[in-house]
Amino acid sequence: MSRRQRVTTALLLAPLPVLALLLLPTPWLAALVAAVLLAGLWEWTAFAGLSDTLPRIAFLAANALLIAALAWGAGPSLFPLKLLALLGVLWWLAVVLWVLHPGFADGEGQGAGALKLLAGSLAVVPAWCALVWLHAGELGPRWALFAIALVWAADSGAYFAGSKFGRRKLAPAVSPNKSWEGVWGGLTACALLAVLGFGLLGLGWRQLPALVLLVLLAAVASVVGDLLESLMKRHSGLKDSGRIFPGHGGVMDRLDSLLAALPVFAVGKAWLGL
């Protein structure tokens, strides 16, 4: 894919999530985000070796029902959503171990396929919970947009720093193109975003260090999310999750980093008292 194609697609698509996050009421946003995430989950079924339409629809329906049940039973406290977001944080910590042992579940057996389907659900459902939790809070649309923006900043910083300075491979057995220099570039971009944007989030200077810590944790998580999808593609022999976005692949290729960053960001925001 060419850099021009990537940039053109990104510029055309970027206004849509921004407008949705800022203008839609939380229930409408929750429904829209659920639809997008379920589209990504449909692509994920290919990682698990599902090719027949009926099992793929059944898996998608089960996740849709779970999301609907969470939305129905959330209540004003949003406790179920917060609990699932915390579960998501624990899941991504476990994913680190999986990335360090990339041969785990690399096979076509039913056990490996079932684990990868579970991995898809554990990636998608907590991310939905986290975004709805963020959007429903005080200055929620701004916080939700900031969470999305920090992942964009991390991806962009990593892409440009990695392209220019990348020497030391991050995880060559999983994603040979990713470098430690790219990681540092992404973290730097996120820290800069925190410095530029903390006032818009209703925060003061004293809260800036906590915000920087939060964005750095979420940025690190976004790298783990990216690596997990790369691992799934390597296991399945797929280059992209789909072809819906020119230069960017499928829906899941655009969501992988967000799926990990959102639960970490939402839980971390609550933990740090921001």
Q: Confidence class of residue 3 from pLDDT cuts 50, 70 and 90?
A: very low
Out of 1-15, 100-114, 159-173, least confident range = 1-15
How does the average pLDDT of the chain come out, rounded?
90
Count the Cβ atoms, other than its own, within 10 Å of residue 221.
28
Q: How far is CA 127 from CA 14, 30, 42, 46, 234, in A?
A: 19, 11, 16, 20, 23
Residue-range definition of the domain harbouring residue 36: 3-272
Average pLDDT over residues 110-128: 94
Average pLDDT over residues 245-266: 83
Q: What is residue 2's predicted lDDT score, i.e. its pLDDT?
A: 42
Of 44, 45, 63, 14, residue with least CA distance to 256: 44
The percent of residues above 90 in pLDDT, for the chain, comes to 72
Q: Total domain count for the chain?
A: 1
Q: What is the pLDDT of residues 64-112, one digit of tens each?
A: 999 999 999 888 899 999 999 999 999 999 999 999 999 888 877 788 8
Q: Confidence class of residue 4 from pLDDT cuts 50, 70 and 90?
A: low
Of 126, 137, 141, residue with least CA distance to 18: 141
Q: What is the pLDDT of residues 194-242, one digit of tens each?
A: 999 999 999 999 999 999 999 999 999 999 999 999 999 999 888 766 5
Q: Confidence class of residue 244 from pLDDT cuts 50, 70 and 90?
A: low
Q: What is residue 240's predicted lDDT score, i.e. its pLDDT?
A: 62
